[in-house]
Amino acid sequence: MGKPSGFLDYERVENPGEEPLQRIKTYHEFHTQIDEDARKEQAARCMNCGVPFCQYGKNICGMASGCPLNNLCPDWNDMIYKGHWNEAAELLMLTNPFPEFTSRVCPALCEKACTNGLDGDPVTVKENEYAVIEKAYASGLMEPKPPVKRSGKKVAVVGSGPSGLSTAYWLNKRGHSVTVYEKEDRPGGLLMYGIPNMKLEKKTVMRRIDLMKAEGIEFVFGVDVGSESGMSAKYLKENYDAVVLCCGSQTPRDINVEGRDAKGIYFAVDFLRSTTKALLESNMSDAKYISAKYKNVVVIGGGDTGNDCVGTSLRHGCKSIVQLEMMPAPPVTRAANNPWPEWPRVLKTDYGQEEAIAVFGSDPRVYCTTVKKFIKNDLGKLTAVETVQLKSVKDETTGRMKMEQVEGTEKVIPAELVLIAAGFLGPRKYISEAFGLDLTPRTNFACSDGTHATSVPGVFAAGDCVRGQSLVVWGLREGRDCAYDVDKYLMGYSNLRG
């Protein structure tokens, strides 16, 4: 602990962000770093607690508290304060293979569990992490470090999202020869096509992919494993010593109400992908994307993906935007039954909502509301959405609370574009069928208790296809744990866990 009184001496200072009306003119990341001396002061606020909940990473009351990767936050915060940046980076990457991703897109579970947050402002752990990894790249520390010796074992990883990249990273460090198969034309999975540039610029993804290639990991794109036109499961099982499925939770949850066939209704993932692809290929000049320009937009879903749709629609130049959320608005501050260090179930106004407020003068979110009907014209084009309010009632059969429509509260909202951001139901069915995998009741890939081994010998799975839709940081943890199980399967033992 470099400065025992740091948390008393310094106030929390966050990286400044560009003003909403200015930043919506581009698709670039919009935060700037504070200077090095100021960053050291922020690191000095870390108390090096006797029980550091920031790195706990376990569930409390059903939600994670602290970092699932068990990042050694107090240790590398101390190194930042002392100016030992290379040592800070080495400590950070002992547990986190891709700090450049988590420091941009993670909701900072570490900060929510920070002891300083019990009676004040938590340490800026996420922004400190960003400073460490970016300085490591700038100083030349992030050079290729291929394994000294190869094991002679070959592993195929299907999917290059967070869990796939993490699995490949750790298995390659162990000396196994890893080939990553990706069905898209570029690597990264949701890092590339699911998270907008404003949160994660794609040059950051490619910088890391290039490093992984230089360390010996092979990437093959445009291969949809298990599909009729793609590579067969049989080929992978016969040509590799182990196969790891990291294919995500890709079946979007639909809204099946009257008028669903109207033209102008899209899943959020398709909308966001089309924008990113247009940015990468033509800087939005080819018009080959789902456009919100001059349209009244309704986003169905109040989560992070819904917020990303709001921010992206504003950059397109939408005419208006409404974001529907089925559940009630959470409280502004912690409720008495939600104490620290539990995950705070409080209202969060994210960047997209901030921008909508700046453009239109009001929060786009409408709570306790769902779609009752999509309205279309004679040409089949969407013109409006009929919504209805919801109330929470007790289910007499199960005893649980459920949301029920309130008759007489119907309202018509003009809409030429609807974006469904209601979550995902599991991996694509053809993959489990191709490999002959057992599934869980929620249609995820079933794995043996405590491992990532599927019902098929030599085939493993990790990430959202196992645990369901989740955070990038959980994907990285899944990948690390899965790599351990694969390594143990191949070698009889593993040293990938400390």
pLDDT 10s digits, 196-216: 999 999 999 999 999 999 999
The amino acid at residue 44 is: A
CA-based torsion, 224, 210, 309, 476: positive or negative: positive
Question: What pLDDT score does 398 carry?
Answer: 86
Number of H helices and E strands in the chain, helices first, is: 18, 16
Give tens-digit pLDDT for 59-85. Answer: 999 889 999 999 999 999 999 999 999
pLDDT confidence tier of residue 488, bands split at 50, 70 and 90: very high
The CB-side HSE value for 78 (13 A sphere, CA atoms) comes to 12
pLDDT confidence tier of residue 450, bands split at 50, 70 and 90: confident
- Cα separation, 200 vs 288, in Å, equals 21
> Which top CATH class is 154-250+425-491?
alpha beta
The CB-side HSE value for 213 (13 A sphere, CA atoms) comes to 10
Domain with CATH 3.50.50.60 in the chain: 154-250+425-491, 265-420
The residues, ordered by sequence, that sit 6+ positions from 195 with a Cβ below 8 Å of its Cβ are 105, 272, 308
Tell me which residue of 490, 483, 494 sits closest to 171, measured CA to CA. 483
Cβ contact 383:375 at 8 Å: yes
pLDDT confidence tier of residue 188, bands split at 50, 70 and 90: very high
Q: What is the DSSP letter of 439?
A: B
How many residues would you count in the chain?
Answer: 498
Q: What is the mean pLDDT of the chain?
A: 96
Question: What pLDDT score does 439 carry?
Answer: 96
Q: What is the DSSP letter of 381?
A: B
Percent of the chain at pLDDT exceeding 90: 93
pLDDT confidence tier of residue 1, bands split at 50, 70 and 90: low
Mean pLDDT score, 23-37: 97
Domain with CATH 1.10.1060.10 in the chain: 6-138
How many CB atoms sit inside 10 A of residue 71's CB? 27
Annotation: CATH topology of 6-138? Fumarate Reductase Iron-sulfur Protein; Chain B, domain 2 (1.10.1060)
Give tens-digit pLDDT for 308-317. Answer: 999 999 999 9
- Cα separation, 314 vs 294, in Å, equals 10
Cβ contact 193:20 at 8 Å: no
pLDDT at 280 > cutoff 90 = yes
The residues, ordered by sequence, that sit 6+ positions from 236 with a Cβ below 8 Å of its Cβ are 156, 158, 181, 225, 243
pTM of the entire predicted model: 0.96
Q: Residue 97: is the preceding peptide bond cis (ω within 30°)?
A: no
**Torsional class of 194: left (φ above 0), alpha (ψ -120 to 50), beta (otherwise):** alpha
Order of all β-strands in the sheet with 154-158? 218-221, 177-182, 154-158, 242-245, 459-461
Q: Which two tokens stand for residue 217?
A: 């990991």
- Cα separation, 391 vs 351, in Å, equals 28
| Element holding 91 (H helix, E strand) | helix 85-92
Q: How far is CA 46 from the centre of its chain?
A: 26
pLDDT at 229 > cutoff 90 = no
CATH number of 265-420: 3.50.50.60
Please name every residue paired with 322 in a beta bridge, in sequence order, or none if there are none. 298
pLDDT at 498 > cutoff 60 = no
| Element holding 154 (H helix, E strand) | strand 154-158
Phi, psi of 195 (to 5 degrees): -110, 125
Give tens-digit pLDDT for 456-485. Answer: 999 999 999 999 999 999 999 999 999 999
CA-based torsion, 99, 102, 105, 110: positive or negative: negative
Cβ contact 245:454 at 8 Å: yes
